[in-house]
Structure 1
Amino acid sequence: MTTSNPLTTEEAAEAGLLPASHWQQEPLPGDVDADDGASTIGSFVSSTASLSESIFKYRTIHGRTFHSEIGNAESWQPNDAHHIDAQEVAHHNYMVAIGHKLYLSPLEKNKVGKVLDIGTGTGSWVITCFSFSTTSDFADEFPNTEVIGTDITPIQPTWTPSNCKFELDDCNAEWTWPDNTFDFIHCRMMFGVVTDWDDLFRQAYRTSKPGGWVESFVACSTMFSDDGTVKEGSAMSQWAKVWNAGGEKTGRTFMVYDHDLQQKGMEKAGFVDITVKEFIIPVGVWHKDKELAEKGIWWKMMMEADLEGYLIYIFNVVMGWTPEESTAYAKHFRKELNDPNIHAYFKARTVYGRKPHP
């Protein structure tokens, strides 16, 4: 388990971080007594990497449960019922972000025999678990394909279609699947989880079949604005600074987009036909373009679904904030999130590449 080791004053200043206590002292814009902002809202088999039964012994942090602290596997997201619901919203949000699609790789349905979804979370990419999805899940779209979803925490459905299964596995450990196993390997929003992105793509390359595809989607933590409405010192401007500093402390970077680790890792591994797709994602309801506005409202809904849950591990455990400080920050952040005069947006990227034939 990562423990708190607060940055020195000099380190915090260099990273542009405001003191955690700042958010308790700073009055909320507008009516301080106003609401924070209206919300808009398996069956498991042991994998070849074989995580121990201790995986089911969750740890509790500030009333929320997280992955077991036993072993080297680590996750910054809660795994309780509240967060599982939030992750269903997140899954739909990510599909909307890339055009209401599950993947962008040029797959040929009659040539995809075996697929791996790394860090599957609730398993929603593999099988649909909620009613508002507008896109079929992967197992449904490829009924003759064997689909495997892996994660370090067992929060996937207990019922699965006959062509898919979920396994407990840590993607940072050495993969023990045989060479040339998968026709498609998919991973999404794995920032803050992967310890070595070059190694991740090396292992993906080895276990991909010749001609197989690997795809990765990730967002940048920084919130941008073209008109200066994301002001320096605001909760939105501090968002990425805290996450990025936390990632540096855990050795599991959140700056995957910033350092272009997807494309670089695929190139080093030996993939060819590498394609990069960039996305702009507004945050909130401010954008006038219908498609971008839809992306913005879904991203906002995802963040609101469990904002405090997202903060606990990095802000409290890693960065040493008190629960009161992170709660105060969340109020400021939610206020800004619901302000249509703040024209904030993220950047995101999908990168996919093919393993060449011998």
Structure 2
Amino acid sequence: MPPRRKKPSVPRHGSDPAAAAAGPSTAEEEPPYIEAFGHKYHHSGRIFVPFDEKEQQRMELEHRLFRHCLNGALTATRIPLNVEQILDLGSGTGLWPMEMAVRYPQAQIHGIDVSRIQKTNAVPPNVRFTIGNVEDPWPTPPDSIDFLHARSLAGGVTDWPALFKQAYEKLKPGGLLEWTEVAIQIFDFDGNFGDAELCPNFLNLWRDVSRRNNIDFTPSPNGPEWLVEAGFEKIAQRTEILPIGDWAQDDKLRTRQALMNTISHQHFTNHCGLLFTKCGWTREQFDAVAPTFFTDIEAESSKPYTMV
């Protein structure tokens, strides 16, 4: 069960003066950006996930992966059929809000993302997008959201407790939150689920540059504590195996494995460029050490996997 908002003892009143959200539109000129390792990153330098075409391809592969993990569903949460207000944080290309709009035509669905990369040629009438950083105040009044969806925000959030505090304030009493992240951890499938973590040299290096940039790409282990501190209750966790390599046997895991292999190998540099360049690395230095990530994994395990 996803975390549920407690009913406050004192009702809140008022509305956010920024409640009018921007509708979908296309900028006439490309906004400024930072380029690193051939990828385009938000000009603020605070978002370590790029927004270019290759990253958009990765986002859509990940969307397919998550739907497969959910047996075709769009959420693990059982959302009431009469849901009215849905907020999606980190909408990316907008696939999730637009698919939800078809399933819940009576709901108003609001997506927020720092980059204007949403597919605006076929936006359902009950979907709107706002361009903004999810760590800033959201353009929605307090106590107004029935269901809040947050997925793959790691790399763009520096203050997770503050994010969940705002989520609690924006949700209606009894409102629901679903948050999903892929763990940047590699495990060995030796029969002890989640116990045998592998730490290739490159992964340790990557974690070091992440700490130096004050960014956490694997926040989910701390999630329950943050949610409790924010005021949520009835918190439940769900974990799925994502195989890497060529060891999965059944059809379901093999489908996940194929998607994970594509994401891992074809989009390996997406989340590395800004991290490493801000720590003084050149592309040549990075290319000299990055391949060890896969060779070390293959040497240490015949059944590597990560988790979502």
TM > 0.5 fold call? yes
Counterparts in 2 of 1:51-70, with a 5 A limit?
56-69=31-44
The letter for the 1-side match of 2:259 is W
Structure 1 305/279 Cα, relative in aligned 2: closer, same or farther at 3 Å? same
Deviation at residue 62 of structure 1 after TM alignment: 3.6
Residue in structure 1 matched with residue 8 of structure 2 by the alignment: none
Residue in structure 1 matched with residue 105 of structure 2 by the alignment: 143
Deviation at residue 277 of structure 1 after TM alignment: 0.9
Structure 1 84/226 Cα, relative in aligned 2: closer, same or farther at 3 Å? closer
Structure 1 60/140 Cα, relative in aligned 2: closer, same or farther at 3 Å? same
Render the CA deviation track for 1:185-244: whole Å, top value 9, x for unaligned: 11112222211211111100110011210110112211011459xxx9x9x723532332
Counterparts in 2 of 1:280-319, with a 5 A limit?
280-314=241-275, 316-319=276-279
Contact 1:221 1:243 in 2 (8 A): no
Render the CA deviation track for 1:26-50: whole Å, top value 9, x for unaligned: xxxxxxxxxxxxxxxxxxx549xxx
Pick one of 234, 239, 242 that aligns with 1:278: 239
Partners of 2:22 and 2:51 in 1: how far apart?
19
Residue in structure 2 matched with residue 269 of structure 1 by the alignment: 230
The letter for the 1-side match of 2:85 is K
Residue in structure 2 matched with residue 96 of structure 1 by the alignment: 68
Q: Taking structure 1 as the reference length, what is the TM-score of the superposition? A: 0.70
The letter for the 2-side match of 1:89 is L
- Secondary structure of the structure 2 residue equivalent to 1:105: coil
Structure 1 328/99 Cα, relative in aligned 2: closer, same or farther at 3 Å? farther
Structure 1 240/338 Cα, relative in aligned 2: closer, same or farther at 3 Å? closer
- Secondary structure of the structure 1 residue equivalent to 2:168: helix
Counterparts in 2 of 1:178-217, with a 5 A limit?
178-217=141-180
The letter for the 2-side match of 1:185 is L
The letter for the 1-side match of 2:302 is I
Render the CA deviation track for 1:224-275: whole Å, top value 9, x for unaligned: 11459xxx9x9x7235323322332222212313xx2221122112222211
Cα RMSD over matched residues? 2.9
Contact 1:249 1:318 in 2 (8 A): no
Render the CA deviation track for 1:328-356: whole Å, top value 9, x for unaligned: 344444567789973111122xxxxxxxx
Residue in structure 2 matched with residue 325 of structure 1 by the alignment: 285
- Runs of 5+ in structure 1 lacking a partner? 1-44, 48-52, 128-136, 349-358
Render the CA deviation track for 1:151-193: whole Å, top value 9, x for unaligned: 1111111231101011111111233521111111111122222
Counterparts in 2 of 1:78-97, with a 5 A limit?
78-97=50-69
Aligned residues: 279
Structure 1 251/336 Cα, relative in aligned 2: closer, same or farther at 3 Å? closer
Contact 1:284 1:337 in 2 (8 A): no
Structure 1 295/272 Cα, relative in aligned 2: closer, same or farther at 3 Å? same
Partners of 1:240 and 1:206 in 2: how far apart?
36
The letter for the 1-side match of 2:31 is F
Whether 1:346 aligns to 2:306 is: yes
- Secondary structure of the structure 1 residue equivalent to 2:238: strand
Partners of 2:51 and 2:171 in 1: how far apart?
29
- Secondary structure of the structure 2 residue equivalent to 1:346: strand
Deviation at residue 113 of structure 1 after TM alignment: 0.6
